[in-house]
C-alpha cells in the first residue's frame, strides 16, 4: 500500500521522475519561497518534497517566526518524527531507498537536516545547509556536506560554523563550506528584501545544483 503523503509540498520534474531532495524550511514555515525553491529543483530534474513542520502556520515577521520556531524546538521529537515520515514518503515516491536522498535545510531546517543525516545514515546521501548549524555526533553519517553561510550573521556566529566544520572533518565526511561576502542571514530568500543578495543567491544555487548532481552519480 503506498505511503500517504504527509503535510507538505511536492514538486515533480517535467519528465515525472528524478533523484529525491528533501527540503526543510526555515523558521518562517512552508511559505511561497520554499515552495518556489522546490519547484525550481523539480525544473532542474529533482523530485523535491518539503514537509510542513508547522502544519499550516506561516510567519512573515521575526517575532512570529521566533514563536513558531521555539514551539517546534520544544516539540522537537514530533518534528523529527514528521521529518522521518517525509523521508519514508519521498524514498517510496522515488523508489531509490537503496541510493539515499539529499536533504537541504534553511536556518532552523539546517539543524534538522544535520540531525537527520546522523540519525538515518543509510538514507541520506548528501546534505546542503543554508546559514544554519547544529551540534552532535556525525561519526555514523555517510553523507557529503555543502554549506552556505553569510559573512555577517547575527543568528549564526562564526564559531558555530567552525565547530561544525571541524566535527564533520573529524568524522571523516567530505565537507565544503562557503562564506558569501557582503551578506547576512536569509541572503538566499528573495522575500526577505532587506537581506536578499541576488549575486550570492545565484552563486549558492549554482553550487547547490552542481553538488546535488555530483552526489547523485556517486
Task: Decide if 173 contacts 146 (C-beta within 8 A).
Answer: no
Residue-level pLDDT at 94 = 85
The answer on pLDDT for 46 being more than 60 is yes
Whether 102 maps to a domain, the answer reads: yes
Torsion angle, alpha carbons of 70, 71, 74, 77, to 10? -120
Alpha helices in 17-101 (DSSP H): 32-43, 62-74, 76-94
pLDDT in tens, 49-106: 999 999 999 999 999 999 999 999 999 999 999 999 999 999 888 876 556 899 999 9
Residue-level pLDDT at 125 = 93
pLDDT in tens, 139-152: 999 999 999 999 99
Whether 5 maps to a domain, the answer reads: no
pLDDT in tens, 118-169: 999 999 999 999 999 998 899 999 999 999 999 999 999 999 999 999 999 9
CATH of the domain at 146: 3.40.50.1820
Q: How many separate domains does the chain show? A: 1
pLDDT in tens, 190-206: 999 999 999 999 999 99
Cell 545547509 belongs to 129
Q: 10 Å Cβ neighbour count for 39? A: 14
DSSP string, 26-39: -TT-S-HHHHHHHH
Percent of the chain with pLDDT over 70: 96
Whether 130 maps to a domain, the answer reads: yes
Name every residue whose Cβ is closer than 8 Å to that of residue 178 and which is 6 or more positions away in sequence: 146, 147, 148, 149, 204, 207
Residue-level pLDDT at 20 = 94
The residue range of the domain holding 96 is 62-216
Whether 127 maps to a domain, the answer reads: yes
The answer on pLDDT for 1 being more than 70 is no
Whether 16 maps to a domain, the answer reads: no
C-alpha distances in Å from residue 26, one per residue of 123, 166, 210: 22, 24, 22
Band (3; pLDDT cuts 50, 70, 90): low
Amino acid at each position: 500500500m503506498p505511503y500517504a503523503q504527509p503535510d507538505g509540498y511536492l514538486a515533480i520534474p517535467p519528465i515525472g521522475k528524478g533523484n529525491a531532495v528533501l527540503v526543510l524550511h526555515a523558521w518562517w514555515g512552508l511559505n511561497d519561497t520554499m515552495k518556489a525553491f522546490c519547484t525550481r529543483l523539480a525544473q532542474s530534474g529533482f523530485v523535491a518534497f518539503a514537509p510542513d513542520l508547522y502544519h499550516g502556520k506561516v510567519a512573515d515577521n521575526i517575532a512570529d517566526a521566533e514563536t513558531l520556531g521555539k514551539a517546534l524546538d520544544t516539540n522537537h521529537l514530533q518534528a523529527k518524527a514528521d521529518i522521518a515520515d517525509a523521508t519514508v514518503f519521498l524514498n517510496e515516491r522515488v523508489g531509490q531507498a537503496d541510493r539515499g536522498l539529499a536533504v537541504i535545510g534553511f536556518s532552523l531546517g539546517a539543524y534538522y537536516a544535520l540531525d537527520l543525516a546522523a540519525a538515518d545514515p543509510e538514507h541520506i546521501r548528501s546534505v546542503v545547509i543554508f546559514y544554519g548549524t547544529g551540534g552532535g555526533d556525525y561519526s555514523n553519517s555517510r553523507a557529503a556536506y555543502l554549506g552556505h553561510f553569510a559573512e555577517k550573521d547575527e543568528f549564526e556566529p562564526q564559531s558555530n560554523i567552525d565547530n561544525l566544520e571541524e566535527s564533520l572533518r573529524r568524522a571523516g565526511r567530505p565537507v565544503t563550506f562557503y562564506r558569501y561576502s557582503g551578506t547576512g542571514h536569509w541572503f538566499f530568500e528573495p522575500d526577505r528584501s532587506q537581506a536578499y543578495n541576488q549575486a550570492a543567491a545565484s552563486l549558492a544555487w549554482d553550487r547547490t545544483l552542481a553538488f546535488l548532481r555530483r552526489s547523485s552519480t556517486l
